[in-house]
Amino acid sequence: SYKNGQWRTPGEVIGREVDFVAGKGTYSWHHKVVASVVGLQHIIPPSPDAADQRPTVEVRRQEEQGAVPEPGVVVTAKIRKVQPRMAVADVLCVGTRAVRENFRGIVRQQDVRSTEIDKVDMHTSFRSGDIIRAEVLSLGDARAYYLSTAKNELGVVSATSDAGVAMVPINWQEMQCPVTLQKEFRKVAKVC
Amino acid sequence: MDVESSVPGAGSPFVNRIMAPGDVVLDLTKASNVLRLGSGLRQDGDNIAMTKVGRLQFKKPNKYWVEGSQKRYIPNTEDVVLGIVVDRRFEMFVVDIGGPTYASLPMLAFEGATRRNTPNLQVGAALYARVVKAHRDIDPELCCTDASGKAAGFGPLNGGYVLECSTGLARVLLSKPTSPVLEALGKSLSFEIAVGMNGRVWVNAATTATTILVSNAILNSEFLTAAQQHIMVQKLLQKSQ
């Protein structure tokens, strides 16, 4: 049962931890290597000069897994709701890959910018419908990831004005509608 | 049809006239200066159009807005409103002001409030506040002090009775000179009222009978002329004696 090409299902014990290194698609539990996804098992022999001579076992999915936000990764998100102390957003892309399912993110008041974080007014930083670039801080709670826009290159990249026209950034705090010439406040990303 | 503007300095010929949503009141290509639009108006390309039914108002040099009367209140900044506390959250009260969403009132937005000394408002308490932040995308935010931090009449309202009316009647009750019904009532009775632009009036008097009389007089007065309001108040006072 150690052949390559063997189908494995989540929870299925593949072998002992003394015999194998748990690779992608597996995890080690009670000194055994257990599959965590549905896929084909692959055994990768160790390199000859490695200290640990155990082969690595991987379980590879048939389909490519959709993008999932990870801490430290820059994501593109759309603001859904702005509340007094946080903004709720839906993650659209992780890096350059679009996501396949819905991920919620929260930008808290203290994570909007790096200076004067207790004086942040959420309403002058984001509005519903804005597209933002944000960094994933952590996996957050059961409901949403925690996002941060506290760097120069993070923040609002695309927004529409009250008149419904795409706005042009003026500086890191303001964007202007080209039709009505009205300025609106946003935390603008410095896109070079 | 009167196309000439009767208000000097107004760019629009429709000032002081009642208009409907969609009516174009001003063509921006003919306006020479920067305009300030209040509630009820929207820029639509090169035109300024109405978004609600009401009378177009103008204040020199460049401010336009619409005054209409609805039952539903749409929050605007700097309106004074009468709210009722519905919930207490972390560092803020949730207040019902009769708008599309509940408003939030920070616990520190009272005169002399500190982290240790916050106002003790219970669910169901009535309060007088002003709208600090209002936008179609967010829940409105209130404040129980004026701009300098003093109470200035804002804050909790104890006792009394809250009645609901249209936003148009509330605006008339708040206008100067004093509206005829309040003037007539004030000559014979002693009471206090607080009027919110959200169509709510708080009435407080020494006896229940006076409170009821004042409330009924206010509600009756909406569509009466000044003389009719005086007569109506006299009749109510006679009946109560």
User: Is residue B33 scored above 70 in pLDDT?
Assistant: yes
What are the tokens at A137?
């801080």
Residue A84 to residue B104, Cβ atoms within 8 A: yes
Rounded to whole angstroms, the Cα distance separating B225 from B237 reads 18
The dihedral region occupied by A51, where left means phi > 0, alpha psi between -120 and 50, and beta the remainder, is alpha
Query: How far is the alpha carbon of A129 from chain B, nearest alpha carbon, in Å?
Result: 10
Q: pLDDT-based confidence at B72, cuts 50/70/90?
A: confident
Residue A84 to residue B92, Cβ atoms within 8 A: yes
User: Is residue B5 scored above 50 in pLDDT?
Assistant: no
| Spatial CB neighbours of A172, under 8 Å, sequence gap ≥ 6 | A152, A155, A187, A188, A190
Residue among B92, B137, B141 whose CB faces A127 most closely: B137
What is the ipTM for the molecules in this complex?
0.73
CB contact A5 to B (< 8 Å)? no
Rounded to whole angstroms, the Cα distance separating B97 from B48 reads 29
Q: pLDDT-based confidence at B136, cuts 50/70/90?
A: confident
Rounded to whole angstroms, the Cα distance separating A154 from A77 reads 11
Query: Exposed, middle or buried: residue A10 (CB in 10 Å: 0-12, 13-18, 19+)?
Result: middle
Residue among B43, B92, B135 whose CB faces A123 most closely: B135
CB contact A186 to B (< 8 Å)? no
Q: Say if residues A182 and B43 touch (Cβ distance below 8 Å).
A: no
What is the average pLDDT value for chain A, to the nearest integer? Answer: 91
Give the model's pLDDT for residue B60.
80
Q: Which of residues 97-126 of B touch A (CB under 8 A)?
A: 104
Give the model's pLDDT for residue A3.
60
Q: Kindly report, residue by residue over A56-101, the tens digit of the pLDDT.
A: 999 988 877 788 999 999 999 999 999 888 999 999 999 999 999 9
Query: How far is the alpha carbon of A182 from chain B, nearest alpha carbon, in Å?
Result: 11
Give the model's pLDDT for residue B36.
84
Q: Kindly report, residue by residue over B206-235, the tens digit of the pLDDT.
A: 999 999 999 999 999 999 999 999 999 999
Q: Which residue of A has its CA nearest to B141?
A: A84
Give the model's pLDDT for residue B42.
84
User: Is residue B74 scored above 60 in pLDDT?
Assistant: yes
Q: Which residue has the higher pLDDT, A4 or B155?
A: B155
For residue B85, give Cα distances in angstroms to A33, B71, B143, B185: 58, 20, 13, 30
User: Is residue B4 scored above 50 in pLDDT?
Assistant: no
| 3-state SS class at B5 | coil
Rounded to whole angstroms, the Cα distance separating B198 from B228 reads 25
What is the average pLDDT value for chain B, to the nearest integer? Answer: 88
User: Is residue B88 scored above 50 in pLDDT?
Assistant: yes
What is the residue type of A151? K
Which percentage of chain B shows pLDDT scores above 90?
53
Closest to A185 in 3D by CA, of A90, A170, B39, B78: A170
Q: Kindly report, residue by residue over A134-161, the tens digit of the pLDDT.
A: 999 999 898 999 999 999 999 999 999 8
Q: pLDDT-based confidence at B2, cuts 50/70/90?
A: very low
Query: Exposed, middle or buried: residue A47 (CB in 10 Å: 0-12, 13-18, 19+)?
Result: exposed
Query: Exposed, middle or buried: residue B223 (CB in 10 Å: 0-12, 13-18, 19+)?
Result: exposed
Query: How far is the alpha carbon of A99 from chain B, nearest alpha carbon, in Å?
Result: 26
Angle between helices B208-220 and B180-188 (to 10 degrees): 160
In 10 A of CB B90, how many CB atoms? Answer: 6
What are the tokens at B48?
């300024």
| Residues on chain A touching B139 (C-beta within 8 angstroms) | 83-84
- Best mutation target among B44, B77, B133, B137 (most A Cβ atoms within 10 Å) is B137
| Residues on chain B touching A128 (C-beta within 8 angstroms) | 137
User: Is residue B7 scored above 80 in pLDDT?
Assistant: no
Residue B133 to residue A83, Cβ atoms within 8 A: no
Rounded to whole angstroms, the Cα distance separating B179 from B232 reads 14
| Spatial CB neighbours of B71, under 8 Å, sequence gap ≥ 6 | B166, B167, B199
Give the model's pLDDT for residue A4.
67
| Residues on chain B touching A180 (C-beta within 8 angstroms) | 43
User: Average pLDDT for residues B151-175, to the nearest whole number?
Assistant: 92
Q: Exposure string (b/e) for B115-134, b if CB count within 10 Å is 16 or more?
A: eeeebebeeebbbbbbbbbb
In the block, which residue shows the tokens 């009642």? B18
Residue A127 to residue B92, Cβ atoms within 8 A: no
CB contact A97 to B (< 8 Å)? no
Q: Which residue of A has its CA nearest to B134?
A: A123
| Residues on chain A touching B135 (C-beta within 8 angstroms) | 123
Q: Which residue has the higher pLDDT, B33 or A23?
A: A23
Query: How far is the alpha carbon of B88 from chain A, nearest alpha carbon, in Å?
Result: 15
| Residues on chain A touching B45 (C-beta within 8 angstroms) | 179
Q: pLDDT-based confidence at B37, cuts 50/70/90?
A: confident
Q: Kindly report, residue by residue over B101-125, the tens digit of the pLDDT.
A: 999 999 999 988 888 888 888 999 9
Give the model's pLDDT for residue B90.
86
In the block, which residue shows the tokens 């194998």? A20
Q: Where are the alpha helices (DSSP H) in chain A?
A: none
| Residues on chain A touching B141 (C-beta within 8 angstroms) | 84
- Best mutation target among B34, B138, B143 (most A Cβ atoms within 10 Å) is B138
Residue A123 to residue B138, Cβ atoms within 8 A: yes
For residue A78, give Cα distances in angstroms to A69, A98, A132, B95: 14, 13, 6, 29
| Spatial CB neighbours of A8, under 8 Å, sequence gap ≥ 6 | A14, A35, A38, A39, A40, A41, A59
Give the model's pLDDT for residue B29.
77
Residue among A84, A128, A163 whose CB faces B43 most closely: A163
Q: Which of residues 159-178 of A touch B (CB under 8 A)?
A: 163
User: Is residue B58 scored above 50 in pLDDT?
Assistant: yes
User: Is residue B1 scored above 60 in pLDDT?
Assistant: no
Torsion of CA B21, B26, B28, B32, to 10 degrees: -150
Residue among A123, A128, A180 whose CB faces B133 most closely: A123
Q: Say if residues A135 and A101 touch (Cβ distance below 8 Å).
A: no
